[in-house]
Every structure is written in structure tokens, then in C-alpha cells.
Amino acid sequence: MKDKRVMIFAGTTEGRRLTQYMADNGICVHVCTATQYGESLLPERENITASHERMNCEEMCVLIRSFSPALVIDATHPYAAEATENIRKACGRCSAEYLRLVRDREDGAGDVVCVESTEAAVRFLEKTKGNILVTTGSRELEKYTALTDYRERIYARVLPFVDSVAKCGKLGIEGRHLICMQGPFSAEMNGAVIREYEIANMVTKESGQAGGYPQKYEAAKAAGINLVVIGRPEEKGYTYQEILKFLEKKYLIAGYGKQRVTVAGIGPGAPGLFTEQVREACRKADLIIGAGRMVEAAARKGQARYVSYRPEEILSYIKRHPEYGRVAVIFSGDTGFYSGAGKLWRMLERETDIESELLPGISSVSYFCAKLGVSWEDAALMSLHGRKGNPLSVIRENEKTIVITGSDRDVREICLSMTEAGFGDLPVCIGSQLSYDGEQIFRGKAKDYIDYSGGKLAVLYVENFWGKSRAAAHGLPDSAFVRGDVPMTKEEVRCVCISKLRIRKDSVVYDVGAGTGSVTVEAALCASEGHVYAVERKQEAIHLIRKNGLRMKTDNITVVDGEAPEAFRELPAPDCVFIGGSGGSLKEIVEAVVRKNSKVRVVINAVTLETLSEAAECCKSIRKSEEEIIQLSVAEARKIGKYHLMQGQNPVYVISFTCGGEVE
């Protein structure tokens, strides 16, 4: 039907976007490009036809009458003045409705050199020194031959057309001086070219967002070089968004007043594992955004791409480029499982001019477990990809553990810590480069992989038959610890002190005057997702703390060799602090931890009345709540013959409080 036909002269990125949009909405489109290469960049759809000849006005008239479009859109390059004039005249002769797409002009920055023509650019460049990067194509390249030493100074970036290369060759611009590349180019890519060819001057046209002008400007500014901008002719027409609204109204297309952004999980990486929903979203997108390897897997030929994985950067780029009506932002794995998609999604939800949807993908965990033939609903899951964690603590407490690693080093460190903690014989499976051509699955024992050197993208599966066998509550017997001649907080007192500390799973805990490390270990077992810093000055005690930590299979303990409070200087702020020994600096220690966290929870042990008095005195200057002092008197039965007599231990005072403000 004539009223559902549109002809578009598409020599620009926006022209290809409009073509995709109309085809997706059931409009028959005939696209005219100047070159066969331009035609090859168009989307392949049943309702898209194309031709690739340069035409004069008469030839355009013949084509328009043959196709009989209801509308002709001129989306040729802003500098293609002759082509625009011919299209306008042809539409007038054929009584075809005509729309001219014009790009938004960039804000003229004060640190660029603006000229009115290529000839003016050449005159300016003649007065400069250094290499010149010409990014305006091959059509007017001949004019630069008027420059002195142009063969040495000119570096031309042109489209990879046979004709373009041949033309440059005839002008003597070849070899290293000829850069054949297809855009769009990021600021980073422009910057790399500037550095590689030691460019001092870059020539561009004021081609707007779609023509990559902001990226050229950003790169030139960062490099501190001249940016010579050839101004484009003044013309009237409609912006990309205005044409979209016109088409929406004319053809009753709903929902295109906003940009539509799909945030999608693409699975482990191989295109064959994309869900059909994700595949369709990528196919329809005007722009694909994601990390390099993912964009390479998802984008089709000629599709606009932007390589980034930072949410703020991605959103900024989308908002700066409204000509991309449909955008697909892709993340590896599943969008709801250790994915950067979550932060971007929350940001998109606050944007009133953007419609967004979230599509799940196949996670690397589900893919890997299917390969292994094991279930994972009862497994503990954690990721070390871009984050820290305590894998040994998780392995200790679970029968199945799956760890997404960020490097082969992570695999080696986990297997080494397992081996040192007595878990070296536990079975492990390592999935490397999952779904890619180099996929490998290793099976063995943890001790077999302390020198692992497989692929960096790996998933680790561990089975611990003794997982979950540890008591749910704290309270290790004294006999579980290596003692030596170092004092130790006894089991019954330790249980009360751990309770008073109110440790959460993710708490940061200080154990000051840690001794054998009995409180350190108990705290580490409670704070399996947190960390414990054992501050101790005696070398024999330091050795025992490390030995007991390894004995209890804890990897969330750091022994700090030093005197409190000076030893706190480089430590993160604590949530809970246990003071078992102060070396006469109790007041200074308490004040130091309050300065780090004004709401810290503190528990102090005192055996002597002098220490109790010191604790009471130093606490007077602290704003606090829930203050409590208790005395523990523990007696233990001792067998004498056939009788049991109770033998009392020294009474211990336990002072506990939660701070509520700064030091007075």
C-alpha cells in the first residue's frame, strides 16, 4: 500500500536507525545509499529494499515514481548539500512529501578552531607544525595536497572502501598515513589514534552527536592538540526525535516518544546460549552497549556499538544519544545474579524519558552445574569477581559451595588455603572459559590445583561432606585450641563475651590483646562474611593466633603485630571491639575505637580490681548506652577419688556498652 511506503536517502547513522524503526513497525522502506558498503550496513528485513547508486535529480524522479512512496526522508550527511538539493527538487517534481533530517548542532567550545571551509582549514594548518589527522573522509582530501610536506604531515582516516583507498593512493597518502576504519569511534579510540600517530592537529566537521563530534572533541582536549572544525551549512529541517514523533503520529505507532532500553543477561557468553527474548531485543536494538567481548558476541554487522560496563557512563551515553530509540545493554550471566545490571536498572527507573525492561539470562552457575550433572539449589553461592569474600569460611559451613572467581589467581589461593586448613582432599571441579571454544572442566582434589593456570574466567565447585556439622552456636571447648604459655579467655567467659559483642555475619571485629586467639577464632566463626583483626604484640601469641585460625579453617582473620592503639591506624572502622588486654593503655584504646566508629560496641574483660577501676574511669568520658558490668564466677567439678569437688576459677568482670557519640 502506498500510504505504508517510505523512501529514505540514508547516508548517516540516523538514516539506518530510522530504517530499522520503520521496518520493525510494518512500514515498507526503500533505502538509497551512495555506495554498496553503505547498503551492506543496513538491517536485513523482508520489508526493506535498497539501491546504491549516486543519482542526479532526474534519476531520483524515476526511482520515486517507481516506488511511489507516501513520504521521502532525506537523511544524507549534513555536508552533502548537492545530494540534498537534488532530493528536494525530485520530491517537488513528483509531488512526494519531503522531510529533511538535520542533526543538532554542538555547543561551540572556545578551545577549537572554527573555519568555514576545507580551503580555510588548509590555510590555517599551513601555519602550524606537526602531524595532521583528517577525519572528514576522502571526498575533499585532494585539497590538503596544497599543504607543504602534506605527504609527511597528513594522516587520513577514511572508510574502508576500495574507491577511497585508491583515491588516497593516487594522492600519495598511503601505507602508515592511511587509516581505514569504520566508526563510530569512542573518545578512547580517538585518543589512541592521536597518541599512535603523534597527532598535533585534528580536522573534523561539526557533525553532531551521531557523527562522533563529542568524542573527537573530548579526545583532542585530553591530548592538548588543535581541533579544527569545519562548520556545516545552515539548513532547515527536523531533528531525529521530531521525525520519530511525525512517523508515530502518521502511522499510529505507539510508545516511541521515549527511548526504550533493554537490560539483558546474555548467559556465559556464547551466542547459542542467548534466550530467544534476549536475542530479539539485541536484533531490534539501534545500539548495543556492554563489555567488549559481549558486544562482539551480540552485535550484528553495521549495528552501532558502545563499549562500557560502568552504569553511570552507560546512562550518560544513552541520554546524550536520543537518536538511538532502542538500546540493548548487555551483561554476562543473569541480570539478577552478581550482575552490574542491578545498579543500572535502579538508575534507569528514575529516568522519566526512558522506558526500560529487564531480561534474565542463563547464569554461569546453572550452565556449569548442568555440565557437572549436579543440582545447585542447596549450594552456597558467592562471587569474587570484582569483590572480596571469605571462601574458606563458606566452604567450611556448607556441603556444596560454588564460587565465581575473577582470576586464575583466585582459584590458586582458594585451593591453597583449603589445603593448609586440612581441606586439601575435598573434591573440586573448575569450569574455565565456560561456553567458549576454549571451555575446560577440571575435576580433582583441592590440593591438585594450588598451581592452577587455566582460564581466568572460572567457576569453582567444592563438596565438603562435613559441612553444616559445626554447632550453630558459639562455644568451642578450650581443648580445641593450641595453648602454649599464652593466657587464654576460658570457654565459659568467652561465650558470655561473644554474646555481649553482638557480632553480625558481616561485622568488622577487633580483638585487642588477642593472646591465643580463642576470642578471635570464635568471632571469625560468627562473622563469616566479615573480618576479625587480632591485635597482639607478643610473638609467641601471634604464632598461636595464626595456628589456631588455620586449625579452625578461618580465612577472615588478620593478625596485626603491634601495640594498641597505634596498631589501629590502618585498620577499617570496627563494629565490635573486645579488649582482653590493654597493656596499661585502656583509656587510649577506647577513645581510639570511638573515633573510628562513634557507635561501636565494646566489651572489656577485667580480672583485677585495678583494671575494673581503670575501665570504669575511662568510660566516664564516653557517651554510651546499654552499659552493663557483670561478674562471672565459674566453678568446675574436679574428681577426687569417688567424689566431685567444685573448684572455682578467678572471678572475671565483663564491662560492655554501645557508644552513642564522640569522645567528650
pLDDT of 44 above 50: yes
Which tens digit of pLDDT belongs to each residue from 232-280?
666 788 888 788 878 877 776 655 557 889 999 999 888 889 999 999 9
Residue 471's pLDDT is 67
Residue 108's pLDDT is 43
* Predicted confidence band of residue 29 (pLDDT cuts 50, 70, 90): very high
Instruction: Name the fold adopted by 373-463.
Output: 3.30.950
Q: Which residue has the cell 583449603?
A: 418
Q: Which residue has the higher pLDDT, 448 or 249?
A: 448
For 614-654, the DSSP string reads HHHHHGGGEEEEEEEEEEE--EEEEEETTEEEEEEPPPEEE
Q: Which amino acid is at 128?
A: T
Residue 356's pLDDT is 92
Residue 109's pLDDT is 45
Residue 249's pLDDT is 77
Q: Give, as one character, the DSSP assignment of residue 446.
A: G
Residue 364's pLDDT is 92
Query: What length does the chain have?
Result: 664
Which tens digit of pLDDT belongs to each residue from 563-582?
999 999 999 999 999 999 88
Residue 110's pLDDT is 44
Residue 104's pLDDT is 61
As a whole number, mean pLDDT of residues 69-91 equals: 87
ω into 565 cis (within 30 of 0): yes
Report the interhelical angle of 311-320 vs 341-349 (nearest 10°): 40
Residue 209's pLDDT is 61
Residue 107's pLDDT is 45
CATH class held by domain 478-663: alpha beta
* Predicted confidence band of residue 448 (pLDDT cuts 50, 70, 90): very high
Strand 458-463 relative to strand 440-445, pairing:
unpaired
Residue 438's pLDDT is 85
pLDDT of 519 above 90: yes
Q: Which residue has the higher pLDDT, 506 or 237?
A: 506
Residue 208's pLDDT is 62
In whole angstroms, what is the distance from residue 157 CA to residue 169 CA?
13
Q: Which residue has the higher pLDDT, 453 or 468?
A: 453
User: Can you list the alpha helix ranges (DSSP code H) found in 25-73?
Assistant: 36-40, 57-67
* Predicted confidence band of residue 117 (pLDDT cuts 50, 70, 90): confident
Residue 105's pLDDT is 54
* Predicted confidence band of residue 111 (pLDDT cuts 50, 70, 90): low
As a whole number, mean pLDDT of residues 30-45 equals: 83
Residue 472's pLDDT is 66
- The three state secondary structure string of 526-595 is HCCCCEEEEEECCHHHHHHHHHHHHHCCCCCEEEEECCCCHHHCCCCCCCEEEECCCCCCHHHHHHHHHH
Q: Which of these CATH numbers, 3.55.50.30, 3.40.50.620, 3.40.50.12780, 3.40.50.720, describes 2-104+236-240?
A: 3.40.50.720
CATH class held by domain 113-230: alpha beta
Instruction: Name the fold adopted by 258-362.
Output: Cobalt-precorrin-4 Transmethylase; domain 1 (3.40.1010)
14-28, 462-476, 504-518: which is most confident: 504-518
In whole angstroms, what is the distance from residue 204 CA to residue 625 CA?
67
Strand 601-606 relative to strand 652-663, pairing:
antiparallel
As a whole number, mean pLDDT of residues 353-380 equals: 93
* Predicted confidence band of residue 42 (pLDDT cuts 50, 70, 90): confident
* Predicted confidence band of residue 134 (pLDDT cuts 50, 70, 90): very high
pLDDT of 431 above 70: yes
Residue 132's pLDDT is 94
Domain ranges in the chain are 2-104+236-240, 113-230, 258-362, 373-463, 478-663
Which tens digit of pLDDT belongs to each residue from 156-190?
999 888 888 999 999 999 999 999 988 778 888 89
Q: Give, as one character, the DSSP assignment of residue 146.
A: G
As a whole number, mean pLDDT of residues 39-58 equals: 87
As a whole number, mean pLDDT of residues 25-40 equals: 85
C-alpha cell at 319: 541520554
pLDDT of 489 above 80: yes
Residue 254's pLDDT is 57
Residue 352's pLDDT is 86
C-alpha cell at 445: 582434589
Beta partners for residue 603, in sequence order: 578, 656
Q: Which residue has the higher pLDDT, 377 or 111?
A: 377
Which tens digit of pLDDT belongs to each residue from 600-630?
999 999 988 888 888 888 777 777 778 889 9
Domain 258-362 shares a fold with domain 478-663: no
As a whole number, mean pLDDT of residues 474-487 equals: 86
Mean pLDDT of the chain: 88
